[in-house]
């Protein structure tokens, strides 16, 4: 985020009391979505909703393409085994056992594909709604001083286009001239219009949105087919999802285990022949499929897709799965103070003059210097002076020749030069330097007042005047900000998660410390500049920590690009959205805390199901190995601790369970394992107990129940 005293862009508190002569005057409304984006409005039944399963089934069948199956080594082996057992079943059509094994191996493959198809299908409804917004439009492109109408697909990066009330924005870009009200409901789901204007952090517009009022000139920043909506469609459908490093590493581990078990099963046949218990290819294939980690192999892709889908449901778009995983490993969280930790709309609460100056004189000077300040804080100073002292704006003639000093991030102050007087109001350091440059002095009382306000958690703004008597400080304006309810508890929760929180603010160190202590953050960075943020991120990363931050302005772009998880606000500039690897459609900075939780949930879900998958293979040893060799080695019958009815029933029961457990685990893969803040060792013990022990016990129970059912079928038991 930009500095607190360098970004005043909350239009909710913009007063209409600013006189028409003040620069940059405009009316505006605020986008205050509460997660009502396209995902929020998506109706979805339960996982086993017949309509959803039916819609996903054709995709599951199409995924049987060997070229697609080869992406998962585990499931590719199952596919080859399905084909192999089918061939041998056809060669011996009277062998019911061969047909049963072949059928259940095909179901195992199909269930794995169905899990991925259902996960992908959860985003298709949203993609369909986004496609409706991606309509072909005619753009009014500027060529010099003339306009020409061209198809939106002909626009190129750098083109300037004009949009007026009723026009559809033809492509992604930044407003370079004018201010307008824009309907972004097609993107965010929020019906309230938002203000887009040139020269600020709220200049980005998205293709497919509608201009409701006024006239703006837009500079196109993306090529046709690469717009924000196009990327959203690809992301929510899963088409643009790339495998993450952790996912790739786990795939390599699963492939390695598959190779190990394949070699073990292949070398088992010579020993079986030597023992006089030669095994059929169908039995060996069933053994291989049951021993390799098919459960996690089948669900791995669905877990990743579901993790990104959970973000989409909260109106956050992750530009890569790597960002979601990184969010789960974040150890340092950089949070802007204003609007994130505090309510953000700091309001003027009082005027405290230095000795020898009346409060009314201070209020009048503060009001005059704030007429050029378009920030909510500046507007609140004007409003307080009017309400408390009845001060009104001068007539147009009084300020006709005024030279306005507009608030900027560099100067950090605003003011006006008029009638031989110069008035300034702003950050203490900036105004103090301004007074001293003009030969004036700052009385010690001014420093005492600023320290007192800062220690109370407020923000002091110095007001100074230069006239015939010289430059001098008149007093201090007290700005108040309020820490949001529940922030201390949320930071305590993050602390239990092992995450260090750092508050970033443009306030002076005393103010920053007061707010940090009240909110309960671990550290703070005061009077922060874009360079300071970048340096802080690099220091944290040099210590081996992953860093997450939010931002919305062009000056946030370098830090967003440097951070491991950079969440750009949708209301921000195109530069910020391009630099970040996530975009929050609701533009809610506090959502970064939720994103971290979702990332951790993804990693925990993957780890829990991997543990479960490997553990549940143990029971299959006790089912299949005795069935294969108990005839020649009667002593192995002691390993038949489940008391399975027959060798055929035992092997078939293991294969059936292997298939059914996949479909049974799909809801958990899509919903995710619930994350609870706790220490790493405690979490490890909990997951090993629940999913390790559970994965060990469940197959014994499941295989036994299936065996009891199968043994009741005539000719099998």
pLDDT tens per residue, range 626-657: 888 777 778 777 777 888 888 888 889 999 99
Is 271 annotated among the ligand-binding residues? no
Is 587 annotated among the ligand-binding residues? no
Q: Say yes or no to pLDDT of 610 above 80.
A: yes
Q: Among residues 245, 207, 244, 202, which one has the least CA distance to residue 568?
A: 202
Ramachandran angles phi, psi of 425, nearest 5°: -145, 135
Residue located via tokens 């507007």:
379
Is 10 annotated among the ligand-binding residues? no
Is 414 annotated among the ligand-binding residues? yes
Q: Among residues 715, 625, 674, 683, which one has the least CA distance to residue 291?
A: 625
Q: Say yes or no to pLDDT of 37 above 60.
A: no
Is 413 annotated among the ligand-binding residues? yes
Q: How far apart are CA 118 and CA 666, in angstroms?
A: 9
Highest averaged pLDDT of the listed ranges 55-59, 396-400, 701-705: 701-705
Token duo for residue 322: 């790597």
pLDDT tens per residue, range 676-715: 777 777 888 888 888 989 888 999 999 999 989 988 887 6
Q: How far apart are CA 199 and CA 178, in angstroms?
A: 9
Q: Among residues 53, 69, 104, 123, which one has the least CA distance to residue 298?
A: 69
The residue length of the chain stands at 717
Task: Tell me if residue 336 is catalytic.
Answer: yes
pTM of the complete model? 0.64
Token duo for residue 319: 């530009």
Is 533 annotated among the ligand-binding residues? no
Q: Are 401 and 390 in contact (CB under 8 A)?
A: no
Highest averaged pLDDT of the listed ranges 26-35, 292-301, 492-501: 292-301
Is 134 annotated among the ligand-binding residues? no
pLDDT tens per residue, range 556-596: 788 888 888 888 887 777 777 788 888 887 777 778 788 88
Q: Among residues 414, 375, 481, which one has the least CA distance to residue 13?
A: 375
Q: How far apart are CA 549 and CA 530, in angstroms?
A: 13
A 10 A CB-CB count for 403 gives 11
Q: Among residues 116, 107, 115, which one has the least CA distance to residue 78?
A: 107
Which residue among the candidates 336, 481, 584, 588 is catalytic per the annotation? 336
Mean of per-residue pLDDT scores for the chain = 80
């Amino acid at each position: 985020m930009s500095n607190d005293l360098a970004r005043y862009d909350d239009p909710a508190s913009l007063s209409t009391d600013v006189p028409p002569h003040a620069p940059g005057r405009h009316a505006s409304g605020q986008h205050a979505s509460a997660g009502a984006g396209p995902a929020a409005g998506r109706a979805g039944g339960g996982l086993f909703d017949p309509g959803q399963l039916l819609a996903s089934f054709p995709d599951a069948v199409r995924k049987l393409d060997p070229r697609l199956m080869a992406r998962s080594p585990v499931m590719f082996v199952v596919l080859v085994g399905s084909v192999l057992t089918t061939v041998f079943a056809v060669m011996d059509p009277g062998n019911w056992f061969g047909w049963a094994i072949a059928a259940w191996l095909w179901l195992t493959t199909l269930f794995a594909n169905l899990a991925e198809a259902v996960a992908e299908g959860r985003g298709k409804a949203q993609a369909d709604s986004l496609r409706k917004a991606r309509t072909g439009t005619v753009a009014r492109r500027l060529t010099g001083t003339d306009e020409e109408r061209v198809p939106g697909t002909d626009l190129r990066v750098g083109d300037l286009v004009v949009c007026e009330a009723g026009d559809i924005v033809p492509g992604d870009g930044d407003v370079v001239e004018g201010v307008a009200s824009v309907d972004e409901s097609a993107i965010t789901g929020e019906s309230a219009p938002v203000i887009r204007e040139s020269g600020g952090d709220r200049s980005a517009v998205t293709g497919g949105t509608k201009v409701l009022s006024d006239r703006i000139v837009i500079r196109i920043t993306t090529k046709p087919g690469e717009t924000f909506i196009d990327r959203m469609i690809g992301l929510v459908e899963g088409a643009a999802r790339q495998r993450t490093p952790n996912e790739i590493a786990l795939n390599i581990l699963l492939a390695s285990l598959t190779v190990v078990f394949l070699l073990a099963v292949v070398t088992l046949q010579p020993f079986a022949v030597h023992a006089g218990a030669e095994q059929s290819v169908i039995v060996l294939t069933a053994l291989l499929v049951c021993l390799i980690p098919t459960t996690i192999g089948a669900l791995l892709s669905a877990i990743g897709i579901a993790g990104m889908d959970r973000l989409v449901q909260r109106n956050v778009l992750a530009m890569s799965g790597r960002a979601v995983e990184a969010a789960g490993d974040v150890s340092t969280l950089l949070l802007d103070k204003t609007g994130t930790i505090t309510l953000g709309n700091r309001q003027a609460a009082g005027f405290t003059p230095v000795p020898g100056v009346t409060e009314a004189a201070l209020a009048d000077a503060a009001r005059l210097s704030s007429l050029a300040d378009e920030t909510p804080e500046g507007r609140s100073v004007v409003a307080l002076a009017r309400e408390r002292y009845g001060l009104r704006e001068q007539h147009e003639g009084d300020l006709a020749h005024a030279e306005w000093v507009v608030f900027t991030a560099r100067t950090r102050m605003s003011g006006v030069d008029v009638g031989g007087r110069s008035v300034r109001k702003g950050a203490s350091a900036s105004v103090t330097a301004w007074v001293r440059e003009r030969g004036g002095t700052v009385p010690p009382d001014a420093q005492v007042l600023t320290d007192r306000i800062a220690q109370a958690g407020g923000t002091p703004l110095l007001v100074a005047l230069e006239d015939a008597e010289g430059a001098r400080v008149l007093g201090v304006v007290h700005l108040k900000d309020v820490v949001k309810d529940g922030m201390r508890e949320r930071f305590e929760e993050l602390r239990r998660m092992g995450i260090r929180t750092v508050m970033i603010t443009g306030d002076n160190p005393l103010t920053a410390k007061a707010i940090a202590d009240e909110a309960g953050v671990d550290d703070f960075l005061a009077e922060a500049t874009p360079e300071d943020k970048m340096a802080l991120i690099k220091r944290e990363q040099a210590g081996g920590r992953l860093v997450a931050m939010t931002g919305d302005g062009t000056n946030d772009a370098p830090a967003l690009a440097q951070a491991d998880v950079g969440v750009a606000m949708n209301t921000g500039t195109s530069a910020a959205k391009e630099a970040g690897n996530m975009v929050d459609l609701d533009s809610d900075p506090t959502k970064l805390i939720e994103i971290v939780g979702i990332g951790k949930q993804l990693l925990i879900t993957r780890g829990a199901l991997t543990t479960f998958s490997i553990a549940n293979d143990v029971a299959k040893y006790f089912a299949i190995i005795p069935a294969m060799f108990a005839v020649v080695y009667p002593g192995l019958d002691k390993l038949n601790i489940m008391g399975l009815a027959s060798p055929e029933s035992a092997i078939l029961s293991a294969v059936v369970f292997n298939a059914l457990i996949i479909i049974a685990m799909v809801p958990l893969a899509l919903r995710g394992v619930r994350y609870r803040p706790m220490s790493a060792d405690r979490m490890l013990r909990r997951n090993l107990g629940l999913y390790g022990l559970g994965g060990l016990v469940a197959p014994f129970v499941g295989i036994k129940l299936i065996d009891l059912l199968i043994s009741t079928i005539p000719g099998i038991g």
